[in-house]
Amino acid sequence: MTTFLQTSESVTEGHPDKLCDQISDAVLDAIFADDSTARVACETLVTRGLVFVTGEITTSSYVDIQAIVRNTVREVGYTDSDYGFDANTCGVIVSINEQSPDIKTGVDEAEEIRGEGAADAIANLGAGDQGSMVGYACRETEDALGTENVFMPLPIYLSHRLAEKLAEVRKNGSLPYLRPDGKSQVTVEYEDGKVRRIDSITLAAQHDPEVSNDTLRRDLNELVIREVVPHNLMDKETKFHINSSGRFVIGGPMADAGLTGRKILVDTYGAGYKHGGGAFSGKDPTKVDRSGAYYARYVAKNVVAAGLAERCEVQLAYVIGRREPASVSVETFGTGTIPSDRIEELVRANFDMTPGAIITQLDLMSADAGRRPRYRRVAAYGHFGRNHINRTDGTHIEVPWERTDKADNLRKEAGLPDEQDS
């Protein structure tokens, strides 16, 4: 038997980088509410007392970016000048340009059909950039937690839930001395590729100055860790590191500058898994950095849900201005229940990976507010594995790239028995 450790981290919605991601996606959501064909690449920087919003945006609508910034900062919890950063007094600078017309030409009409495109503008789209995107899914959370499978690696899943719980107990008044900034980290021990136990749990929570470390550590152990992490995965050897540096009063933008797109592993699958390199937040779905990564996750999750493999990684690559992906790769790490080449064949036959088809299938630019994803809702606590109740406001999060609506057909075409028959 072989054992190894794997560690992943998450951050709270008040972390400076995550605050930027949420502002950028809040701007995107506001523009899409009025103009579903807008081109948006919104970048945000925060530092002491200042929010700077920039990027390239082409739209027929008008949104009050300053109001969006202040509302987002307020909802995250920076509402007190004692925190060194608050929604009412922070400065907001906006410097927005339109998307380059050279890029727009290539995206509006893909190279393969330029000059003879169909009437459907979405179908004509070329990729908004070059690059590689990665999607991943596994049965790990089902095996380890004994609950509905979210098809995510356990270290990142538990790290997200711990960070989310920190925000919940702060906002509901259970631990009113907590402040918005914070981090979590979980190290899982595996044996022969299966979850064996939790080796260590780390929390760092910003707090009011009068709270002692002893009180903080006791409360976070009881009201956060014990409420999130299954007790059967912890043992007497599990290590707990809670505010191990000691005092954490100064946090958020007062302590560190933040930027959109700096937490790409937090946004995806955590350490130990591949990432294409492109960030998600603030980008409209013509940017395959975002839509391609969402679709790769959608494909990988359906492959695993169909029973074709226990683990699946899907890699897509695109060339700017072209529709068809430059490459499609499916890796099952020796866990496939049918030959690997047959899995890839089924993937190619069942999933249209052109940018326009991705946008249409996943309703990524829908003008229908009831169908359109709210991107800000996934800008904190991970873009994947999100079909659950949001701890911070009690609402249900459901995003289209988490659907497994192709699984039954994949299973049937692969010649596998139905789940109820197996």
Please say if 34 is a catalytic residue: no
Among 257, 345, 374, 413, which one carries the catalytic annotation? Answer: 257
Is 144 labeled as catalytic in the residue annotation? Answer: no
Task: Respond yes or no: is residue 301 known to be catalytic.
Answer: no
Burial class (CB in 10 A: 0-12, 13-18, 19+), 418: exposed
Based on the residue annotation, tell me whether 262 is a catalytic residue of this protein: yes
In the chain, the amino acid numbered 308 is L
- Which is the catalytic residue, given 9, 13, 15, 407? 15
- Residue 15 falls in the annotated catalytic set: yes
Catalytic annotation, pick one of 13, 21, 109, 289: 289
Q: Closest Cα to residue 331, out of 295, 368, 355, 300?
A: 300
Cβ neighbors of 412 (< 8 A, separation 6 or more) are: none
Q: How many other C-beta atoms are found inside a 10 Å radius of the C-beta of residue 39?
A: 22
Answer yes or no: 257 catalytic: yes
Q: Is 289 an annotated catalytic residue?
A: yes
Is residue 56 annotated as part of the catalytic site, yes or no? yes
Of the residues 70, 171, 179, 283, which is catalytic? 283
420/363 Cα distance (integer angstroms): 30
Characterise 272 by phi-psi region: left (phi > 0), alpha (psi -120 to 50), beta (else).
left
Q: How far apart are the first and last CA of the chain?
A: 28
Tell me if residue 284 is catalytic.
Answer: no
Tell me whether residue 183 is one of the annotated catalytic residues. yes
CB 24 within 8 A of CB 282: yes
Q: Of the residues 139, 160, 165, 183, which is catalytic?
A: 183
Is 165 designated active site? no
Q: Are 306 and 338 in contact (CB under 8 A)?
A: no
Is 236 an active-site residue?
no
Catalytic position from the list 256, 324, 352, 408: 256
Residue from 161, 170, 179, 287 carrying the catalytic annotation:
287
Q: How far apart are CA 151 and CA 139, in angstroms?
A: 5
> Active site residue: 262, 274, 342, 403, which one?
262
Which of 70, 161, 165, 263 is an active site residue?
A: 263
Annotated catalytic residue 17: yes
Cα dihedral value 356, 358, 360, 361, nearest 10: 150
Catalytic residue among 13, 18, 300, 407: 18
From 248, 280, 351, 384, active-site residue: 248
| Residues belonging to the active site | 15, 17-18, 43, 56, 183, 248, 256-257, 262-263, 283, 287, 289
